[in-house]
Structure 1
Amino acid sequence: MINQNPDNLVSNPIERASIEGYKFSWFDWFCLWYPPGWLILFNRHWQHYHSDPDGWNWLEYILFLIPGGFYLALLIRWLRLGCRLPRQENTEFDPTYQQAFRQEIIAPIVEYYFRGELLQIENLPSTEPMIVAMNHAGMCFPWDFVSLAYLLNKQRGWIIKTLAGVSLFDHAWMIWWLPPGWSKVLGGVRAELDDFTAVVQERRVILYAPEGLRGPRKGWRKRYKLEKFDLSFIQLSQRFKIPILPVVCIGNEGLHPWTINLQKLQHLFNLPFLPISPLIPIFILFPSMGVWAMRSRLRYFIQPLKPAVSGEQQSENKRSFVFQQAQRLREKMQSQINSLLNKNIENKA
């Protein structure tokens, strides 16, 4: 059922993809519709294309599906590895594996589970580069950005990179949950200025959350209110003459509903946020659900492209000018969110 024979694993995803893609079995479909199984899907797909001797095995996967079984699986794996962490390897972005993962794993999740769709498609440019700036919510695994990346790739065929919080790369849970270098191989870029600058210079399509972690941290009560925007994306847009494409997502607030963030506990456990909701007892029983989210309808409303501002248009106080640009964009996106919510209320009335 779960084939992990090392002889069948090829370290080069390009070579493996040319031979045989990943095919969904009945077990994979079961994992898709049984929330604790999503982590199994991610790891099984990786192991289909990569040699992963330190990864999870079939016995541990079965334990994921049992209440509290993840803790036993973690202990078994730790003992199997000689009481050490999984080996961390030097990995680089692999657009071929990114495409395979999107088509074979992300596609059924986005299309059948999150029901993602692009709207106002006439505003979507046909050429790159650009910084795609989107409101961020949900207080969970960043499915709003993963789904948007998939939809943009499907619509335009773009190779896309996503700026992501450093916890997706370094946190202890991620080291155990997912294969080493998983986020980086799939196009994740650490949300640090040097890394952001480097990827902007590559002149690709970059997904970016102007709210940063303030977005998911705001919780359910402020789910439709945009938090303060960072300034770095405006500065880099101006510096490298790259336009900004604002996108408003409606539905990402429902990925993990009814949440509040407890900041003291968040800092105590060194987490980017610590959501407390009625779902938490289930997460405690099934920690593998950390990459899962509630079923939602993710709708992405593409706004008109915002050209990069030239140096001649800037005022003498450059930082003040950048702040005004970020504030103006935030106000426009907030206005669009409010308008879309009002239309939804009218349609339901």
Structure 2
Amino acid sequence: MSSAVDPAASATPEAQRLSHFPVTFFAVAMGLMGLVLALHGAGRTLAWAAPLSQGVFYAAAIVFMAIATVYLLKLLRYPAAVRAEWNHPVKLAFFPAMTVALLLTATACLGAYPKLALALWILGTVGQGILTIAVVSGWISHRSFEVAHLTPAWFIPAVGNVIVPVAGVRLGYNELSWLFFSGGIVFWIVLLTLVMNRLVFHNPIPARLFPTLVILIAPPAVAFVAYYQLVGQIDPFAHILLNAAYVFAILVLVQLPKLLRLPFTLSWWALSFPVAALTIASFLYAGVAQSAAHLLLGYGMLAALCVIILGLSLRTLLAIARKEICQPE
């Protein structure tokens, strides 16, 4: 009588590492594309930023395609491993990082490659809508989640919805952009309440996931950029969104000493995109309101973002070389 054998268990070490290739790797693509857009925002006042953003864009696109290709191979070769990630209470929230990275790529393509931007935006928007419904349905299904499963990474589906209008309005999809923006804002408010309750009244976030605390910055920062695209002006609600992002940034900055003592994991890439989002928002406000203070903030955060991306990239390559990544947890 034959028994079922786990393909990963009998595979070579290289193939086993493929089966453990985490969906969290898509956070790398989010961070790199965030840097591209931050440099693009700085290009209005810094002559060297625009050409640099083009070079970073091509590098980020290659990395994104490599990550997507490897994860597709994992899906084809080890579908059970992908299902296990989907059923994981923490990793589930990282699946929309795929479509968030796609939407960021579409936004980065708007100037030079408008037709490609449209195609990527449509693909990303459809995928984001499907993943949002699937993830939220998973949250409210018969499965029981514990408070310990809740981290700021749960914001990722909401952030993805709010990103849709950033390129969507410029592509002419206003009503669809409002639909995704509205859903993203509502889910952000609900999840913010849950996350703050978890942070205040329950056990601290595990060290491995503590860097996800930085994700608190992203939703209001991205929402500010998206809202400006939708309404075309800086009104009181826009001020609330931008300044909420600054408040969360200060809260995160206070936690920096604790963050720097933690060992490296892929969750450290959670630092990159939120800082990029706030940098982009600062440059946008500086340009619209002619605010020198916000322009200086943008420069400072752009410098910090470059250091963060460089450090994370080097540390990730080192971890890959040491085979510390793609291992069983």
Name the TM tier (shorter chain). Answer: under 0.3
State the structure with more CA Rg: 1
TM normalised by structure 1 equals 0.26
Query: Structure 2-normalised TM-score?
Result: 0.27
Q: Per residue, is there more helix in 1 or in 2?
A: 2
